[in-house]
Structure 1
């Protein structure tokens, strides 16, 4: 078996730490693992498979060594600067920021949806937004069966989606302290405000979901709208999805298809109060789907409720899955 040299950029962050956990759990064939972060994190020790690794400061010379794949989660500015440097030295970058997602020369990949796009890369592969990832997994199944005409998203996104700073703001609120990350207290609140507002009054998060859905499903003119909301939940994003379809959906057929789809867990038994919950998704890599029902307000309409661990499937696990496919190829 061939062994690979892998790097993590942003190793000290929330997603970076989860990269380590997922890489170890899935036991990828790694010979050398290099960890990079900012100068203030350099020198920190990290345990991986019983070995102690030292985080290095990320510099322009960091990739002057044999590295096959680099998993980036250090923010868009870092990715814009260092991903091209790495790719020019033969490294395949899987980037978790929004920096490259809408670049027409960079594939945007969810392995359960469009794995064939992985090999269209020119050295950089983009990892989608966390809420987009968990949404397009069931939407791909629905589109294949019935054809999608329109999508309406309403998200309920956990504070871990803002990284450690979001978690700290929730903890501050529980102590009665003022927020430092969010515009308002997150405790006892739902904030319809994720990322900054644009001139069209949508937020960047909402625009991400709209544009990324079109790109991943290869439907550039698909009508999509979104309202993204931060809620006082520690981890696990929830999304209410309403879809208008080309053909009349058959709920039993759809449920059966979800049961057979890798990476999807159907939890849909409302008589026994069984439906996806963010608390149950934490620590899991699957996308949980439930509350399937027809939307009788329109012809051929469907509602569903989708939940996933936004740090794992919504970020780290999706990137590691891409790396796995690269290695198998």
Structure 2
């Protein structure tokens, strides 16, 4: 059974990745349409061994498709997702526009696929925040085993999380430093090259940023509303790949050895953890690029709290943190028989 699919925001970094992953995973697509704003019409995009020409979002007939992968930002999604759903297609949206809507499922397939069983009342499914996705993939099997009470995370998020503009700024500033040109921050509030910025998105009343708030409320919605989570989110001078230093307090006792055994068998996770100075094994953003897995390293017992563990979680944010998760949701819809050609 083949589905007709449209990718909205196809010329962006995540949209391009969606097309790549649909082809890589041999998703049973009939017609695939690349859509964006009028200024991108005619732009050629790769889809496997095919080349697609970008079409105009404003004039496209959405009654001709079964599924829409949306990666065009919150404002565009708020305007178009309800229209697309009304035309009969299911929308998987990558923006933050619908995540906290109680009538919109917020899905990470390895974690809460059963949330789709309650129905898709608005015809929209939300893709969580990139750092939230990789964190809950690692937390889920441990929560099932020992019940998580509290989590404290510090994220190290790459510039691609801010889109192509963020990556371009890192490149331009790095070059500028070497040739002694002036640094003029635009995509970020301060210089990103050779620097770390502890602010992603806007500040809120309590001093947290909206990115930190997203991790808190999304984890509760996806995994368990009883979990307490505190986050500090920072932008680092890396092109692709997010890292999350995670400290967990459990209700029940769990050893690092037991945690490794659980994580080794968990879906979506690749455990690479060897604390041997002669032959160490852990994952950095560079190794995560282009991979589907969420990598977990440096699993340790935290002696400062009762039943505490620490993890180092790394993932390609353009893949599992965005495009891959959206395609996995599409696969889930197909496997559950929720969407049919």
TM range (shorter): over 0.9
Specify the alignment match of 1:190 in structure 2: 196
Specify the alignment match of 2:70 in structure 1: 72
Q: How does 1:143-158 map to 2 (within 5 A)?
A: 143-158=143-158
Specify the alignment match of 1:94 in structure 2: 92
Is the counterpart of residue 62 in structure 1 residue 66 in structure 2?
no
Asked if 1 retains the 8 angstrom alpha-carbon contact of 2:20 and 2:46, the reply is no
Aligned partner (choices 188, 202, 208) of residue 202 of structure 1? 208
Q: How does 1:249-264 map to 2 (within 5 A)?
A: 249-264=254-269
Q: Distance in 2 between matches of 1:224 and 1:32?
A: 42
Is the counterpart of residue 216 in structure 1 residue 222 in structure 2?
yes
Specify the alignment match of 2:126 in structure 1: 126
Q: Distance in 1 between matches of 2:124 and 2:303?
A: 43
Q: Distance in 1 between matches of 2:331 and 2:78?
A: 24
Specify the alignment match of 1:274 in structure 2: 281
TM-superposed CA distance for 1:85, in Å, is: 0.3
Is the counterpart of residue 314 in structure 1 residue 321 in structure 2?
yes
TM-superposed CA distance for 1:64, in Å, is: 4.1
Asked if 2 retains the 8 angstrom alpha-carbon contact of 1:153 and 1:240, the reply is yes
Farther-moved stretch of structure 1 (198-207 vs 49-58): 49-58
Task: Report the TM-score, using the length of structure 2 for normalisation.
Answer: 0.93
Unaligned runs of 5+ residues in structure 2 are 177-182, 337-341
Q: Distance in 2 between matches of 1:294 and 1:51?
A: 49
**Which secondary structure does the structure 1 equivalent of 2:151 belong to?**
strand
Unaligned runs of 5+ residues in structure 1 are none
Q: Distance in 1 between matches of 2:303 and 2:259?
A: 17
Q: Distance in 2 between matches of 1:47 and 1:236?
A: 22
Asked if 2 retains the 8 angstrom alpha-carbon contact of 1:172 and 1:179, the reply is no
TM-superposed CA distance for 1:254, in Å, is: 1.6
Aligned partner (choices 58, 82, 85) of residue 84 of structure 1? 82
**Which secondary structure does the structure 1 equivalent of 2:64 belong to?**
coil
Q: Distance in 2 between matches of 1:118 and 1:319?
A: 14
Farther-moved stretch of structure 1 (46-55 vs 148-157): 46-55
**RMSD of equivalent CA atoms:** 1.1
Q: Distance in 1 between matches of 2:125 and 2:101?
A: 10
Specify the alignment match of 1:163 in structure 2: 163
Is the counterpart of residue 46 in structure 1 residue 51 in structure 2?
no
Asked if 1 retains the 8 angstrom alpha-carbon contact of 2:153 and 2:231, the reply is yes
Q: Distance in 2 between matches of 1:43 and 1:228?
A: 38
Q: Distance in 2 between matches of 1:55 and 1:256?
A: 46
Q: Distance in 2 between matches of 1:260 and 1:30?
A: 30
Asked if 2 retains the 8 angstrom alpha-carbon contact of 1:172 and 1:178, the reply is no
TM-superposed CA distance for 1:110, in Å, is: 0.4
Aligned partner (choices 245, 253, 265) of residue 248 of structure 1? 253
> Which of structure 1's runs of 4+ aligned residues deviate more than 4 A?
none
Asked if 1 retains the 8 angstrom alpha-carbon contact of 2:130 and 2:320, the reply is yes
TM-superposed CA distance for 1:62, in Å, is: 2.2
TM-superposed CA distance for 1:262, in Å, is: 2.1
Task: Report the TM-score, using the length of structure 1 for normalisation.
Answer: 0.97
Change (3 A) 1:260 1:221: closer
Specify the alignment match of 2:179 in structure 1: none
TM-superposed CA distance for 1:295, in Å, is: 1.0
Change (3 A) 1:44 1:301: same
**Which secondary structure does the structure 2 equivalent of 1:115 belong to?**
helix
